Amino acid sequence: MGHYLLRRLPSALVVLAIASFGIFALVRMVPGDPVSSLAGPDATPEARAAIRADLGLDQPLVTQYVHWLGRLAHGDFGTSYRIGGQVKDLVADGAVNTIVLTVTALLLAAIVALVASVLAVVLDNRWVNAALSFGNTLAIALPTFVTGLVLILLFAVVFPVLPAGGTPPDGFLARPDIAAQYLLLPAVCLALGAGAALTRFLTEALRTELRQPYVTTARALGIPRRRIVLTQALRNALPSAVTVLGIQFGTLLGGAVLVEAIFTWPGLGGLIEEAISGRDYPLVQVLLLLSVVVFVAIQLLTDVIHAWLDPRVRIGGAS
């Protein structure tokens, strides 16, 4: 496992390095600057100059970049121009919500996919299959922003059984039962697409596995098909499924931006939109860099898990 990480790490770092610079540069190329969005329509020139100096934007770009990196290295993410608070705290607050949402969605998706695909394969009944494939095609075909609104309309407005949005008033841990209800709609909305895609993949993977010779061997030994699916095919399909899961997590994070907007879920999505439109350089930079880090991390993670699940990678061949 170790050497696995080691081999991947350098390229990951390269990506991060490029990213940090690219982001820094791009953010500053964007038209419109933080000063004017801070100063507002009626600011006087001297006022804006004062603000500019206050933000250290009057220094040359290179110095700014170096300073930024330096501070990052010391775990100082800087303070947000607009919001004023520590970027660290802001991101942390948003991250908690986003992570809770996406991870829940991911779990939902994974579980649904697992059950659905195993059901489909074990009782390979054409009606069940038809129903499933129709279901998940539809799930993929419905845009998030549509499903989200339909869910709100149904469960919050027409039959007000669930909150229309927002996060649980007193955190996720204080009242799990309440939190669950706040989480349900957005998580389902987010999980739908991923779940469908995952189901599709896993079903296909299982079918492919069942065509493998070792399955024939097992069947020739009189092991029931269902048992083969559960104890062998699934185990073999898992590594590749994990990889797909990793990819899905990325897409989920992307979808979160939209879902958060629909369900007014105060996560990173809203934060980044606000940061960019406010030209809140420190915040934007950190957030963008974060998404790169997450992406790279997930790639690493999936690789490692993949390797760990597959003995052929874990234990080098003897002969």
Partner 1 sequence: MTDPEGTTVTTPLLEVTDLAISFSHPRPAVRSVSVTVDEGEVVALVGESGSGKSMTARAVIGLLPDGAKATGSVRLRGEELLGLPEPELIRYRGRRVAMVFQEPQTALNPVRTIGWQIGEALRAHGGVRGKAARARAVDLLREVEIPDPEERLGYYPHQLSGGQKQRVVLALALANEPELLLADEPTTALDVTVQAEILALLRRIRDRTGTSILIITHNMGVVAHLADRVVVLRQGEVVEEAATRDLFADPRHAYTRQLLAAVPRLPGPDERVHAVTDDDVPAVAADAVAALEYDDVRVHYGSRMRGRVLPAVDGVTLRLERGQVLGLVGESGSGKTTLGRLAAGLVPLAGGSVRVGGEDLVRARGQRRVDLRRRLAFVHQDPEASLDPRFSIAEAIREPLDVHAVGSRKDRDVRVTELLDAVRLPASFARRRPRELSGGQRQRVALARALTLDPELLIADEPTSALDVSVQAEVLELFADLQQRLGFACVFISHDLAVVNKVADQVAVLRAGRVVESGSAARVFGAPTHDYTRQLLAAVPVPDPTVRDATGPALREQHIAS
Partner 2 sequence: MSESLIDVAAPEATHPDDQFDTRRRPGLWTALRRGKGLAGLILIGAVVALGLLGPLLAPHGPTEQIPGANLVGPSGAHWLGTDEVNRDILSRTLYGIRTDLLVVFLAVPIGAAIGILVGLVSSWWTFTDVLAQRLFDLVLAFPTLILAIGLTAFVGPGLRTVFFVIVAVELPVFGRLTRTSVRTVREMPYVEAAHVVGAGSLWQLRRHVLPNSLEPLLVQLAVSMSVAVFIEGAMSFLGLGVRPPQPSLGSLIRDGVRNMYDAPFFAVGPLAVVVALVLGLLLVSQALAEARRA
Partner 3 sequence: MRRSTRPLHALALAVVGLLVVGVLSSCSSAVDEASGASGDSGPSDGGTLRIGSTSDIVPASIFTNSSDATNTLIGAVYDSLIDYPLDNLDPEPRLATSWQVAKDGLSITLQLRDDVKFHTGREFTSKDVEFSIKTWADPTWTVQLQRTAAAITGFDTSDPHAITLTFDHKLSNIFDLLDMVPIIDSETFDQLKTGKAYVGTGPFVFKSWTPSSKLTFTKNPDYWGDEPHLDGIEVDIVSDPQAQVSQLRSGQLDLVTGASNRDLETLGKDSKFSVTGFDGAVQQIYVGADLANPDLQDVKLRQAIAYAIDRERIVDEVFRGQGTPINLPWPDYSPAYDAEANKTYTYDPAKAKALVAQLGDSPTIPLAYPAGNANYEAVAQIVQSDLEAVGIKTQLQPAEYSQFIKQLIGGTFGGLWILQHGYAHYTPSTLAVSAYPFNADKNASHFVSKDYKEHADAAWNQDSGSSPEAVAEYKKLNKDLLDNLFLIEMALLHFQTAETKSVHGLNMSKRGELDLRSTYLSD
Phi first, then psi, for residue 61 (nearest 5°) are -55, -45
Residue 129 Cβ vs partner 1, minimum distance, rounded to whole Å: 14
**Footprint of partner 1 on residues 226-255 (CB under 8 A)?**
227, 231-232, 235-236
Contact between 41 and partner 1 per CB under 8 A: no
* Cβ distance to partner 3 smaller for residue 271 or 296: 271
315 makes contact with partner 1 (CB under 8 A): yes
Q: Which of the listed partners (partner 2, partner 1, partner 3, none) does 46 bind, with a CB threshold of 5 to 8 Å by partner kind?
A: partner 3
Among 25, 224, 277, 297, binds partner 1 (CB under 8 A): 224
Site for partner 1 in 1-40 (CB under 8 A): 7
Q: Which does 47 bind (CB under 5 to 8 A by kind): partner 1, partner 2, partner 3, none?
A: partner 3
Residue 222: left (phi > 0), alpha (psi -120 to 50), or beta? left
**What is the rounded end-to-end Cα distance, in angstroms, of the chain?**
21
- Residue 79: beta bridge partners? 86
Find the binding residues for partner 1 in span 204-223 (CB under 8 A): 212-214, 216-223
Listed residue (235, 243, 199, 242) closest to 215, CA to CA: 235
Write out the residues near partner 2 by the rule CB under 8 A: 11, 14-15, 18-19, 22, 26, 29-32, 137-138, 140-146, 149, 153, 157, 204, 250-251, 253-258, 261, 269, 272-273, 276-277, 279, 288, 291-292, 294-296, 299
Q: From partner 1, partner 3, partner 2, none, which one binds at residue 160 (CB under 5 to 8 Å depending on kind)?
A: partner 3
What is the residue type of 72?
L
Among candidates 29, 70, 33, 78, which has minimal Cα distance to 51? 33
Among partner 1, partner 2, partner 3, none, the one that 304 touches (CB under a kind-dependent 5 to 8 A) is: none
Coil, helix or strand for 77? coil
Closest CA to 301 of 2, 99, 5: 5
Q: Give the closest residue to 278 by CA, choosing from 106, 28, 33, 63.
A: 33
Assess contact for 249 and 305: CB atoms under 8 A: no
When CB distances are held under 5 to 8 angstroms depending on the partner's kind, the choice from partner 1, partner 2, partner 3, none that residue 288 binds is partner 2
